[in-house]
Chain A
Amino acid sequence: MQSNSWVPLFPDQASSFAWQIDYLYFYLILISIAFAIPIVAAIFFFAIKYREKEKFATPEEIHGSTTLEIAWSIIPFVLSMTIFLGGAIVYFNQYRPPENSMEIFVVGKQWMWKFQHGTGQREINELHVPKGVNVKLTMTTEDVLHDVFIPAFRTKADVVPGRYTTLWFNATEVGKYHLYCAEYCGLNHSGMGGWVYVMEPKDFENWLAGGGTGQTPTEIGKDLFMNKLGCASCHAGGQNQRGAKLEGIFGTEVKFVGGGSAKVDEEYIRNSILNPSGQVVEGFQPIMPSFKGQVTEEQLLALVAYIKSLTPNSAPTGTTSTPAPSTPSANANTATKSAAANSNK
């Protein structure tokens, strides 16, 4: 992973914002040195120059200096504010995934990582991503806290049971990089990791094409929605429709009975499936049963993907915004669109 030196000192830099974190790191090292050298020099200088010459001497009294106190309060404060601002800007850039990111679903469990691409490929403890593409991981866990950590990308995020967290990156160098779990998760915590493979977009498309004939998350979600879980009996429109119409709902604002509102996002859909009576939307009765315990985290992610696909402009899952989309990804697009089209019938 690191350069071939005997003692590695610096990790590979393989994501579009890694340089920002590295510059911030260098800036802080610089400030630390600029701050420490005068203090250490002064300690040595004073301790040697004013070393005890007579046992139990009584040196001249010095009480202090308000000017100095103000100076060495304000200067560190101003410097620390530059560190705060620098850190906040870098963090802000990392915080929100760009709109058009390629989405990959991640489910952590003791002690493995399960990934599913928008085109249906599944991977365990290995993640293949194309170079130069914004990749967004939508993550949750089946059990305890985990944390996706990719040092070469300078990014990490906790994976929290009961909710979705996200992490995004844009890989810049083809290669093989460590993938770690960075939040202690029990017995085999240090074994819960693997590798991230960054590939040229073309190679990635080939890799995707060779990945078997798995269904896409959207297709799996549609199957659950239409058949296995019977969501369609209330949500699919027609005269039987008692539940909310889901076409076009993603990204809209809903108002709750008894006040409050929320934006329909991944988290909201998840909560609506698991705990529907917790957030009843105005104009509806609290008649939907909870699906808690009946759906796995992976099925939930598939349902989210399907419901998202019912709103055509909502950055559909499974589209890769590679510079030159080759056939397999185009197929994936078609699949998503046809799924959306079917449901509109």
Chain B
Amino acid sequence: MQNVDVMNISEEPKVNYLTNGFSLKSWLLTKDHKRIAIMYLITVSAFFLIGGLYAATIRLELLTPQSDLLESGQYNRVFTQHGIIMVFFFLIPVIPAILGNFFLPLMIGAKDLALPRINLLSLYIYWVGGILTLWALMQGGVDTGWTFYTPYSTTFSNTYVMAVGLGVFINGFSSILTGLNFIVTVHTMRAPGMTWFRLPLFVWANYATALVMILGTPVVAITILLLAIERVGHVGIFDPAIGGDPILYQHLFWFYSHPAVYIMILPAMGVISELISNFSRKKIFGYEFIAFSSLAIAVFGFLVWGHHMFVSGQSLYAGLVFSFLTMVVAVPSAIKMFNWTATLYKGSVSYDAPMLYALGFMGLFLIGGLTGLFLGSMGLNVHLTDTYFIVAHFHYVMVGGTVLGYLGGIHYWWPKMTGRMYSEFWAKISAMLVFVGFNLTFFPQFVLGYLGMPRRYASYAEELQVLNIFSSAGAAVLGTGMFMPVVYLILSLVFGQKAEANPWHLPGLEWRTASPPPTENFEKMPVVTWEAYEFGEDNGLDHEAVRGKELVEA
């Protein structure tokens, strides 16, 4: 173990990435992936807050069957903007741009991403796209639904379709550049000894995500461009009144937007693999199967877009193929669930807040995944699509999956990112509120959907009010649970206990440098001699020292 001394850095270096320069310029012109990640953290959180306020408004409006709080035109803008902000400016960047940006280089023993300037550029592109979108929302917003379906969006809507479309278009390039950067980094920047099959599964997941980002995002960019050409130039592409085909738009849109679902969920699955393995203190069960299932999801994810269009007038045989492939893509997700569960077996399971989020993820993603089968089954899809059933399903996947994965990840890595411990007590309370509030919000919506409540309705049938009140009450609990971390995480920066280099005593490379890490990440180039999630005696960590230290502290 020639690296033992290198690997056990417990003393805080004099200068870390946060103290390396305090000027605004030192942040805005930084090439440090960690600082860029922190800037993403702040802006993505701001977008999450805005999207959350829209969600709260939606649930308030739906307390009563009539459209009374908002008139239907306002309601249409609110749900559209909730969707656009949440999908394009929160869910897609949240884990790759914050946690991936910060930890991908640390986890593979690199000094930075392979293309640091491109990384900064992607942040600026995100800002430009975001500011343009916010400007359009303040001017009057947009009412097309986040899907921008034609010909409504090209010919009929009198709202800021072009400005928001341009915002989303620009933002796409941020995604593409981040994806490109991750791929190059994983190929070229791994530390000596960090072979492909020693990569932590979070890295595998981000790698698979990056593939989807660079292959899928250009398609949505082209689609928005075509939409703009039709809206401004009246060239018949999608509007049949001038010779276009509205179904073509749906094909193009979902060709990106279904894989985009995997851009959102795969990185969260990566976080969950880390959490389950590390908080069971055991090598993950079936490492290769989880790694390859991520790639399988990324590949098959490109072949199932037509399952959004079973009632659009798509041909019967196309529908059959898409339904079949949708069932196939469920299998790799099931494989992950089984492997995570098996990892707990004979482990040493602790219930720290990140693990509570991970266990919550497993419960919610299970429901989200299974209800996906309901929708993939064509006969049922006809009744369920465009109802609240589908709203509940994708919130189980996007919020129950991606947001819980993100919250688990941000708690787990918070000590490393900031050098401070958060309040474990409040973190546990928050995790439980989120879980309970989430289920109360979205489970009634499955029932509402089967009863036939269509989505995007400002007013609804009176007999459905009780279930909607449950849902709105749940949203209040969920909102409280989600807002609490903002408070106690910020407070931890001032009042939190100082974090050690390796507070959870884990083998991953990111824990073998100081908290917070120095700008160059590692004082010496690490040499990896252990497998991923190697908790045994030969993982290069000084177990006796850490255990002894714990005993002294206790």
Contact = CB atoms under 8 A, between A and B. Distances in A.
B472 to A, nearest CB: 15
Contacts of A144: 149, 151-152, 155-156
Interface in A10-36: 10-11, 20-21, 24-25, 28, 31-32, 35-36
A51 B376 contact: no
A161 to B, nearest CB: 5
B543 A21 contact: no
A284 interface: no
B349 A50 contact: yes
A76 interface: yes
A63 B382 CA distance: 43
9 closest A-B pairs by beta carbon, nearest first, are A151-B452, A162-B240, A90-B379, A87-B377, A91-B378, A46-B344, A190-B457, A80-B327, A182-B386
B33 interface: no
Interface stretch (A37-45, A199-207, A257-265): A37-45
Contacts of A56: 281, 505, 546-547, 550
A187 interface: yes
B72 A187 contact: yes
A147 interface: yes
Contact of A87 (B246, B312, B330, B380): B380
Contact of B370 (A36, A53, A89, A189): A36
Nearest to A52: B350
Nearest to A58: B535
Interface residues of B, number: 100
A142 B399 CA distance: 38
Contacts of B385: 156, 182
B380 A21 contact: yes
Nearest to A177: B452
Contacts of A178: 452, 461
B499 to A, nearest CB: 16
Interface string B309-328: 01111001001100110011
B458 interface: yes
Interface string B48-86: 000000000000000000010000110010000000000
A50 B156 contact: no
A161 B238 CA distance: 10
Interface in A86-140: 86-95, 110
Nearest to A28: B374
Interface residues of A, number: 90
A92 B152 CA distance: 30
Interface string A146-167: 0101011011111011110100
A8 B342 contact: no
A101 to B, nearest CB: 18
A57 B535 CA distance: 9
Interface stretch (B3-11, B177-185, B285-293): B285-293
A190 B280 contact: no
A91 B310 contact: yes
B375 to A, nearest CB: 10
A59 interface: yes
A157 B363 CA distance: 33
A125 B148 CA distance: 26
A42 B285 CA distance: 14
A162 B241 contact: yes
Interface stretch (A66-74, A248-256, A312-320): A66-74
A188 to B, nearest CB: 6
Contacts of B87: none
A198 interface: no
Given A31-B373, A69-B289, A145-B152, 4 more contacts: A64-B286, A88-B379, A90-B380, A145-B151
Contacts of A158: 311-313
B341 interface: yes
30 contacts: A1-B461, A1-B463, A24-B380, A25-B374, A31-B370, A31-B373, A39-B366, A40-B366, A46-B341, A46-B344, A47-B344, A47-B349, A50-B347, A51-B349, A61-B282, A63-B283, A76-B330, A76-B331, A83-B377, A84-B323, A84-B377, A86-B379, A91-B381, A91-B382, A145-B246, A151-B383, A161-B241, A180-B452, A186-B143, A190-B459
Interface string B331-343: 1001101110110
A7 B467 contact: yes
Nearest to A275: B243
Contact of B283 (A32, A54, A61, A81): A61
A25 B536 contact: no
Given A52-B350, A89-B379, A90-B379, A6 B466 contact: yes
A181 B421 CA distance: 52
Interface string A183-198: 1111111110000000
A185 B328 CA distance: 33
Interface string B128-163: 000000000000000101000101100111000000
B227 interface: no
B447 A62 contact: no
B464 interface: yes
Contact of B454 (A46, A87, A181): A181
B330 A80 contact: yes
Contacts of B189: none
A104 to B, nearest CB: 18
Interface in B226-243: 239-241
